[in-house]
Amino acid sequence: MNISRVRRPWRIAAVALIAGTVLLSSGCGHGDKSPTWQGGGESQAADGGTGADAATPSPTPTLSTVAVVSPAAEATNVTAVTEVKYTSEDPENTTVTVTDAKGEEVEGTLDKDDKVWRPEKALAYGTKYTVTVNGTASEGKGGSTTSAFTTMAKPSKIVRVTSFLADGQTVGVGMPLIIKFSRAIPASYRDDVERRMTVTATPAQEGSWGWISPTEVHYRPKVFWKANSKVFANVRLGGLPLGSGYYGKTDLTVDVKIGRSFVMTVSNKTKQMTVKQNGKVIKTLPVSLGKASTPSSSGTMIVMEKARHTVFDTTDTDPVNGYKTPIDFAQRITWSGQFIHAAPWSEGKQGRVNVSHGCVNVSEAMGAWLFGRTMMGDPITVSGTEEKLKQGNGWTDFNVSYAQWKKLSYLK
């Protein structure tokens, strides 16, 4: 697609109408013996005319047709994210300028294939804008038109848009981008939302948005992020209609870094955890998983939060069999309460028998070792247990294939 980035100041080519040159007959050549008048006056034709028919007539320049299709001329109450659509016989040589009430040019992107100009960010509310379309071409073609429209007043019904991650944050290779909305987004508007949320990874990596709920959308790459990547998300939802008279409140950007690759895999069969850093095995350690009555989940989970010291208290939900236990080096991997953590009381069982309530038990020393090396977003995959991980029980974005993940997008 032929898309050009338009930045201020734009240079608009002047439109020139090229007049045809009048070519007078010289009376020379081709053996023409007709007399010519040497006194400088008009020669008299045999029929009493001036002989003007002997001259080549001036060609009339043909103008290419350019027009603003939308917004309509003098339209009012136009959304702040409106696109400018136009027509042109020669789009490759056509330019579009949009200026505000002060005459300042607005930054935008010109798609010459689709003949659409899109604003870089939401336009100001309650403001009049002028569109100028200039079409210039070879062979004397050219054309120009202007049109104006006024944006809507600032809406009172807004939807706040937030990012879970902060600018400058470093996360693990399994960390999804997480965007949340203060109000449920109707399904019919979600494709519009996705079109205005772009993710740029350096180096480039394929990825897709997926809707976790009506109020939350995640972005994950096809496979884990490449180590030490830079990821930039541009969420341009300010002024975007979001259903029932609601509009996006503001735009936002998120600029994060992916750290080293740190991937943990746990086999119930061997009762061992294998740790790879940047693709190389750096540690193998024994574990104890959930016993038969409280099995660990098999699937790919992500480290969501960490606590060096905490207390597991289940007595409020299970007064009879609940427990209240101090825990060191806890790393949450599901919302239902599964963690990687130190369990000195099960060290004699680790590597041999499952005795936990669903957590991944490691020794006190290995708990400290892991805790000192992991970060939010590091993945752990558990296999061979009696229970499969339920989607949504944690950041389960990588617990499905990429083909399945893309089905959660509304861009088909």
Contacts with 133 (C-beta within 8 Å, 6 or more apart), sequence order: 66, 67, 68, 86, 88, 94, 95, 96, 144, 145, 146
Q: Do 239 and 122 contact (CB within 8 A), yes or no?
A: yes
Rounded CA-CA distance 295/388 in Å is: 9
Q: Which of 30, 218, 341, 357 is catalytic?
A: 341
Name the residue among 218, 376, 392, 395 with its Cα closest to residue 301.
Answer: 395
Amino acid at 260: R
Name the residue among 108, 347, 151 with its Cα closest to residue 239.
Answer: 151
User: Is 30 an active-site residue?
Assistant: no
Q: Which phi and psi (to 5°) does residue 37 adopt?
A: -85, 120
Residue corresponding to tokens 């002989």: 51
Rounded CA-CA distance 10/359 in Å is: 60
Name the residue among 330, 338, 333, 337 with its Cα closest to residue 370.
Answer: 330
β-pair partners for 241 = 247
Tokens at 267, concatenated? 């086999």
User: Is 218 an active-site residue?
Assistant: no
Size of the chain, expressed as the number of residues it contains: 412
Rounded CA-CA distance 127/124 in Å is: 6
Active site residues: 341, 359
